[in-house]
Structure 1
Amino acid sequence: MSHRLAAWGYPYDSGPNETTTLIASELAANAVRHGRVPGRDFHVRLTAPLGGDASGTIRIEVSDTRTEKRPALIAAAPDAETGRGLYLVSRLAERWAVGPRSGGGPGKTVWAEIATEAKPSGPGSGPGPLQRPQG
């Protein structure tokens, strides 16, 4: 995931790459842990504007074939070792949701969208557009 984003113009150490990679790992871990159906895999789809377009949105979709288990955002106990993945997704993504699996197959798709532009902290502040690596 991180390598593909870097090839598309989002360097490894950029915010969009790091955020998307973290969100993708959380959604994939949830698909393996909670959405697994024996003999079936999950599917990951990544879309992003090429060249690190500063006004675009990166979208990650993770689909599994388990229809009856839908993710829910709940508070984890302070001493719990698990249960914070969707909380992280909800805080890092611009938007996220769960819906029916595309293509008419059984299951669901959990998706998240990540802004490719850092939000400025004040008037005129913030980084310029991300640049595609030269060479």
Structure 2
Amino acid sequence: MPAQTKPQNPVTVRVFAQRFSSTRLGARLARHLAVQRLDAWGIPYDTDLSDAAALIVAELAANAVTHGRVPGRDFELRLTLTADTLRIEVSDARGERRPREVQPEGESGRGLLLVAALADRWSVHDRVPVGKTVRADVCLLD
């Protein structure tokens, strides 16, 4: 007798991906476009989620252009929204320069304290063929 499977509800996944110049202007534009996209997806401006996402994108994009910049290479922002999670990913071309463990009393890396406080989890992944991706997940359900 075949096992019965439960019918699955379709999952709506929304994805936004854009490359930006590895400059301060590119980082600012990434933050602005992120909150604009979230608003279009039903997450209004000036809500806790929109504000948290803006801060996470701002920090990760600033790190990408400060520590991950390779002349002539852009960085990429990718937002993925599912029913229960907003995933923010920022990729750059410097795989060898990875974020270190967050140290509150350190001279650098304090921005990642903000990411750690706002996101439910964050991690760093190798990017093929070159570079790294810093990922922050914000759970939408309590």
Is TM more than 0.5 here?
yes
Cα shift readout 1:20-63 (whole Å, capped 9, x = no counterpart): 111011000000000001111111101113xxx4xx10001000
User: Which residue of the other structure, out of 60, 80, 83, is the alignment partner of 2:109?
Assistant: 83
Which 4+ residue blocks in structure 1 deviate beyond 4 angstroms? none
Tell me how large the CA RMSD over aligned residues is: 1.6
Aligned pairs (5 A) from 1:48-63: 48-49=81-82, 53=83, 56-63=84-91
Structure 1 Cα separation of the partners of residues 86 and 48 of structure 2: 12
Q: CA deviation at 1:76?
A: 4.5
1:5 aligns with 2:38: yes
Residue in 2 that maps onto 1:112: 136
Residue aligning to 1:65:
93
Find the counterpart in structure 2 of residue 95 from structure 1: 121
TM-score (norm 2): 0.71
CA distance in 1, matches of 2:102, 2:35: 28
Structure 1 regions of 5+ residues with no counterpart? 120-135
1:100-123: per-residue Cα shift (whole Å, max 9, x none)? 11xx22010000001223x4xxxx
Which structure has more relative contact order (CA 8 Å, sep 6+)? It is 1
Q: CA deviation at 1:13?
A: 1.9
Pick one of 26, 42, 61 that aligns with 1:28: 61
Identity of aligned residues (%): 52
Q: Which amino acid aligns with 1:85?
A: G
**By percentage of residues, which structure has more helix?**
2
Residue in structure 2 matched with residue 128 of structure 1 by the alignment: none
Counterpart CA distance in 1 for 2:109 and 2:132 is 19
- Any conservation in 2 of the 1:73–1:87 contact (CA below 8 Å)? no
TM-score by length of structure 1 reads 0.74
